Amino acid sequence: MRVIPVPCLSDNYAYVLVDDDTKQVTAIDPVEPEKVLAVIKDTAMSFNTVLTTHHHTDHSGGNTRMAALVPGLCVYGGDNRIPAMTQQLKDGDEFTLGSLRVRAIQTFGHTTSSICYYIRGKDGEKGVVFTGDTLFVGGCGRLFEGSPEDMHESLNERLAKLPADTLVYAGHEYTNSNLRFARSVDPDNQELKEKAERCAKLACTMPSSIAEELATNPFMRVDQPALQIAASRTSAIDVLGELRRMKDSF
C-alpha cells in the first residue's frame, strides 16, 4: 500500500492510494480531476473509486467532472450533499478496495458529512487514515456544523483509538500555522518543538501519525494541565472549544 499526495488548489491535498498487490488505485478528494488523473496514469493501474471526506466544494467539487471522465466510477461519501455519490456510508461501514480493507469513521464537528477512512493493507503494514478537515497535522477543522463535544468525540474517542502507528493524511497543508498556534498554548512541549522544527523544512508535511498527534496536537491533548491553563478551562470539551475559538482568531 502506497499513498501519493497530489497538491491541489492553493493548499489542498488530494491523494492517490495505490494497491500494488492488485494493481488498483483509489482517489481521495480529487478536487482537480485532471491533475489527479495524470498521477493515476503514471501508475498504469486500474481506477474506478473515489473516497470523499466531506461535502465542502474544495474536497468534493471534482466528483462530477471525475465521474464524467471515468464511466462507472464508484463514489463513496457521508451524506447526500456529496456530488456524484453512488455509495453512502454510515459509521463503522467496512468494505474492500482490492486487497485493502476500509472502515468508515463518522467524524462530526467540521461538518455532518465528514467521514474519515481508515485503511489497512497486509498484516504488519501500517494502516493509514484520510482525515479530510477533521484532523489536521497539529490542528483540527473549524466547527461549521458541529459542537466542541462533536469534535472531541471525533478526535479523542474515535481517531485517538486507532493504532498509534497509523499514518495520518489530512486535507490541507496547514501544518506550520497549526504548529505555531500549538506552541503558543503548549510552549514547554519538547516533542512539539522538535516536530515544528522538522515540518518547517518540508514542502509536504504528510503523513503524520496518530502517536505524533497525541503527543503534539493541542486538540488531542485537552486533558493536559498546560492546555487547561491556556484555555482557562478544566473539562476536556470546554478546553477544546476554547482552543478552537482561540485558533480561529490566531
Q: How far is CA 92 from CA 49, 87, 107, 170, 242, in A?
A: 19, 14, 11, 20, 30
Average pLDDT estimate for 147-170: 98
Average pLDDT estimate for 112-120: 98
| Domain of 243, in residue numbers | 2-248
Which residues, listed in sequence order, are joined to residue 46 by a DSSP beta bridge?
A: 24
Confidence of residue 167 (pLDDT cuts 50, 70, 90): very high
Helix (H) or strand (E) holding 231: helix 225-231
Helix (H) or strand (E) holding 11: none
Q: What is the per-residue pLDDT across 20-54, written as a single tens digit (0 to 9) for each?
A: 999 999 999 999 999 999 999 999 999 999 999 99
- The interaxial angle of helices 236-248 and 175-185, nearest 10 deg, is 120
Whether 50 and 43 have beta carbons less than 8 Å apart is answered as: no
Q: What is the per-residue pLDDT across 54-106, written as a single tens digit (0 to 9) for each?
A: 999 999 999 999 999 999 999 999 999 999 999 999 999 999 999 999 999 99
Length of the chain: 250
Whether 78 and 101 have beta carbons less than 8 Å apart is answered as: no
Backbone angles phi, psi at 184, to 5 degrees: -70, -25
pLDDT at 124 over 90: no
Average pLDDT estimate for 150-164: 98
Domain CATH number, residue 126: 3.60.15.10
* Catalytic positions: 54, 56, 58-59, 110, 133, 172
pLDDT at 122 over 90: no
Query: How many domains is the chain built from?
Result: 1
Residue 182 makes CB contacts below 8 A (sequence gap 6+) with 138, 139, 189, 192, 196, 216, 217, 218
Distance CA 99, CA 80 (A): 28
